[in-house]
Amino acid sequence: MIKKVGIVGFGQMGSGIGQVAAGNGYEIVAVEVTDDAFRTGLKYITKSLDKAIEKGKADNDYKQKVLGNITGTTDLHALADCDLVCEAVIENMVVKKQLFTNIDKICKPEAIFASNTSSLSIGDMAAVTDRPTQFLGLHFFNPVPIMKLCEVVKTLDTSEQTFDVAFQFAESLGKACVTAKDSPGFIVNVLLVPYLLDAIRMYERGLATKEDIDNGMMLGCGHPMGPLTLTDFIGLDTILYIADIMFEEFKDSHYAASPLLRRMVNAGYNGKKAGKGFYDYTKK
Ligand code: 3HC
């Protein structure tokens, strides 16, 4: 039975997961590297809750409940009595393995560990712990409070019991869950990333303007955002990172990043968070 949830990494994704879990009555312990980083995560939550209130999707009582259920710390030992710990730290295998090695010694033996990675091997992370059967992926989508999906990812070792408990946990957050295998990109990114890469290639070849590519998919296919706007929203660096991992794994040109994407990332055009990507976000 999950009551207390640890979230390690309280950025855009971690704070989103913390927000929906706190809103559904779970006690959240958020661990960040600095107090400032935790406060930034809390700001994302406050902004999202204020928008939800403005849209009539939540009220002030709900906001207070969410904020009241979250405590922040820089000390991993605060995770000792968590029933589930979900990490959403930087997409770097060395950092993730070090984290799981550390918390494996701190957390109670029955605790379940989850990673919100979008493309790294969950099995490789589980292998550094003494609890590979209690380890799985919970891949949420950005923005977590709005996107309905959670991919629940089973490794070769994840036990049925762990899978069922984690699946029910994600459902209790109001998410619709799909079951995915521990393979790069799981279900959604295997389909989404080549589509975004193709849109970038189309723009790079000068086949259409960025606005027309985006409008084409929004107005012709009913997508809420066009592919270049969505790439800006997710982050060009994130898309490049996922594409490179999938290309490395599958050796399939579907996942090959175009020279333009790599050049833009190298020049700091990382999308909305950087103020510039395919579009300019500095003057709103
Ligand atoms: N809390 C709760 N509900 C909210 C809310 C909040 N903070 N903010 C808005 N909403 C609700 C609105 O009321 C509205 O609900 P309705 O449809 O019932 O009326 C709905 O959410 C949409 O809100 P808006 O029309 O105001 O849209 P916004 O402009 O605020 O947000 C968006 C736009 C939801 C981001 C939309 O453009 C979208 O869905 N874009 C695509 C995002 C996407 O594809 N994400 C996945 C990225 S891939 C990923 O994350 C995986 C990783 O591994 C790469």
Phi, psi of 283 (to 5 degrees): -115, 100
Prediction pTM value: 0.95
- In tens digits, the chain (284 residues) has pLDDT values of 899 999 999 999 999 999 999 999 999 999 999 999 999 999 999 999 999 999 999 999 999 999 999 999 999 999 999 999 999 999 999 999 999 999 999 999 999 999 999 999 999 999 999 999 999 999 999 999 999 999 999 999 999 999 999 999 999 999 999 999 999 999 999 999 999 999 999 999 999 999 999 999 999 999 999 999 999 999 999 999 999 999 999 999 999 999 999 999 999 999 999 999 999 999 76
Active-site residue set: 118, 139, 151, 189
What atom of ligand 1 comes closest to residue 13's alpha carbon? 50
d(CA 146, ligand 1 centre) in Å: 5
- Quick one: pLDDT at residue 284? 63
Taking CA atoms only, the protein residue closest to ligand 1 atom 44 is: 230
Q: CB-hemisphere CA count at 13 Å for 101?
A: 8
Q: Which residues line ligand 1 (CB under 6 A)?
A: 48, 51-52, 55, 57, 118, 141-143, 145-147, 189, 224-225, 230, 234, 238
CATH code of the domain made up of 4-181: 3.40.50.720
Taking CA atoms only, the protein residue closest to ligand 1 atom 8 is: 52
- Quick one: pLDDT at residue 283? 79
- Quick one: pLDDT at residue 232? 98
Mutation probe of ligand 1 site: the residue of 57, 214, 228, 246 with most atoms within 8 A of C-beta: 57
Taking CA atoms only, the protein residue closest to ligand 1 atom 43 is: 142
Taking CA atoms only, the protein residue closest to ligand 1 atom 29 is: 224
Rounded distance between C-alpha atoms, residue 283 and residue 208, angstroms: 24
- Quick one: pLDDT at residue 249? 92
Two tokens, residue 149: 């999906």
CATH superfamily of 188-274: N-(1-d-carboxylethyl)-l-norvaline Dehydrogenase; domain 2 (1.10.1040.10)
d(CA 143, ligand 1 centre) in Å: 6
Q: Where are the domains of the chain?
A: 4-181, 188-274
Taking CA atoms only, the protein residue closest to ligand 1 atom 1 is: 52
What atom of ligand 1 comes closest to residue 139's alpha carbon? 53
Could you tell me which residues come within 8 angstroms of residue 91 by beta carbon, excluding any fewer than 6 positions away? 117, 118, 119, 120, 238, 241
d(CA 166, ligand 1 centre) in Å: 24
Classify 15 in phi/psi space as left (phi over 0), alpha (psi -120 to 50) or beta: alpha
